[in-house]
């Protein structure tokens, strides 16, 4: 899969209507079909067990283990060390993101109920 087709696929999944297999450009019309069901619960940082699409969870603890809204310096330091170790020229890029998210996933599997 090429990068442009990957972006198109991601855009469709994020902004299209995969349940009806219709894509909208502009406003919703009768041709776009019914809206799919909501995919997430809007519980904010304190909502436990939901998917997060932002980087904020990389510097916060899980709600089960404490205050998920409070900045956690040691978790942020981990982010910086992963950027130095895996990122291009010490930047926090896709490689550093993948490595850190994998480490956090493995930790969650071992420690999160």
Structure tokens at 90: 């010490």
- Counting the structural domains of the chain, the total is 2
Roughly what angle, to the nearest 10 degrees, separates helices 94-111 and 73-86? 130
Residues 50 and 97 in one domain: yes
Place of tokens 């809204």: 69
Residues 48 and 102 in one domain: yes
What pTM was estimated for this model as a whole? 0.50
Q: Residue 84: what pLDDT?
A: 93
Among the residues of 16-89, which ranges form H helices? 73-86
- Does the pLDDT of residue 107 top 80, yes or no? yes
Q: Residue 81: what pLDDT?
A: 93
Q: Residue 64: what pLDDT?
A: 81
Structure tokens at 52: 């997060």
CB 94 within 8 A of CB 73: no
Q: Residue 69: what pLDDT?
A: 79
- ∠ CA 14-103-11, nearest 5°, is 10
Structure tokens at 51: 């998917």
Domain that holds residue 4: 1-39
| pLDDT tens track for 60-105 | 888 788 887 788 899 889 989 999 999 998 888 888 888 988 998 8
């Amino acid at each position: 899969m090429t990068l442009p087709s990957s972006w198109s696929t991601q855009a469709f999944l994020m902004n299209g209507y995969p349940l009806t297999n219709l894509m909208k450009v502009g406003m919703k019309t009768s041709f776009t079909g019914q809206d799919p069901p909501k995919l997430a619960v809007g519980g904010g940082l304190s909502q436990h067990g939901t998917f997060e699409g932002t980087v904020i969870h990389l510097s916060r603890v899980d709600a089960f283990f404490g205050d998920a809204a409070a900045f956690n310096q040691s978790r942020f330091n981990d982010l910086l060390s992963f950027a130095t170790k895996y990122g291009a020229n010490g930047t926090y890029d896709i490689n550093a993101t993948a490595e850190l998210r994998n480490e956090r996933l493995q930790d969650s599997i071992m420690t999160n109920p």
